[in-house]
Chain A
Amino acid sequence: MSPREIVVVSGKGGTGKTTLTACFAALTEEPKILADADVDAPNLGILLSPAGTEERPFFGMEIASVDTSRCTGCGACEEFCRFRAIAVRNGKAAVDSGFCEGCGGCLFVCPEGCISKEKFQRGVLRRGETRFGPLWHARLAPGGENSGMLVALLRKEARREAEERGISLLLTDGPPGVGCPVISSMTGATFAVLVSEPSRSALSDLGRVASLCRMLSVPFGVAVNRWDLSGETTEEIKNACGEKSWPFLGAIPFSERAARAVSEGRVPVGEMGEPLIELWRSIVERGCGV
Chain B
Amino acid sequence: MRIAVASGKGGAGKTSIAASLVLSKPGTLAMDLDVEEPNLAILLGVSPDDVQPVHQPVAFLEPTSCSSCGRCARACAYGAIAWFGSGLPVVNESLCHGCGVCSLVCPTGAMREGNRVVGEVRCGSVGGAPFIEGRLQVGGVSTVRVIEDTIHRGEMMNVPDWIMDASPGTSCPVAAALRAADAAILAAEPTPFGLSDLEGVLEVVADMKLPAGIVVNKTGIGDRSLDGLCARFSVEVLARYPFSRSVAESGARGICPYLADATWRWKTDTLWRSIERRFS
Contacts and interface: CB of A to CB of B under 8 A. Distances in A.
Nearest to A234: B252
Interface in A132-181: 139-140, 142-145, 147-148, 175-181
Nearest to A232: B253
A277 interface: no
A77 to B, nearest CB: 12
B97 A101 contact: yes
Interface string B214-227: 00000001111000
A255 to B, nearest CB: 12
A262 interface: yes
A260 interface: yes
A101 B99 contact: yes
Nearest to A211: B138
Interface string B61-104: 00000000000000101100000000000000000011111001
B245 to A, nearest CB: 7
B100 A176 contact: no
A229 B244 CA distance: 11
Contact of B143 (A15, A180, A256): A180
Contacts of A183: 139, 141
Contacts of A219: none
B167 interface: yes
Contacts of A263: 190-192, 221-224
Interface residues of B, number: 63
B14 to A, nearest CB: 9
B141 A179 contact: yes
A3 to B, nearest CB: 26
Interface stretch (A27-35, A198-206, A240-248): A198-206
Contacts of B97: 82, 101, 103
Interface residues of A, number: 69
A92 interface: no
B12 A177 contact: no
A198 to B, nearest CB: 5
B172 A144 contact: yes
Given A142-B200, A176-B169, A61 B77 contact: yes
B9 to A, nearest CB: 6
A269 interface: no
Contacts of A175: 169
Interface in B176-204: 176, 190-193, 196-197, 200-201, 203-204
A11 interface: yes
12 contacts: A13-B37, A39-B171, A43-B196, A80-B100, A139-B200, A143-B171, A143-B174, A179-B141, A179-B173, A182-B36, A200-B253, A259-B221
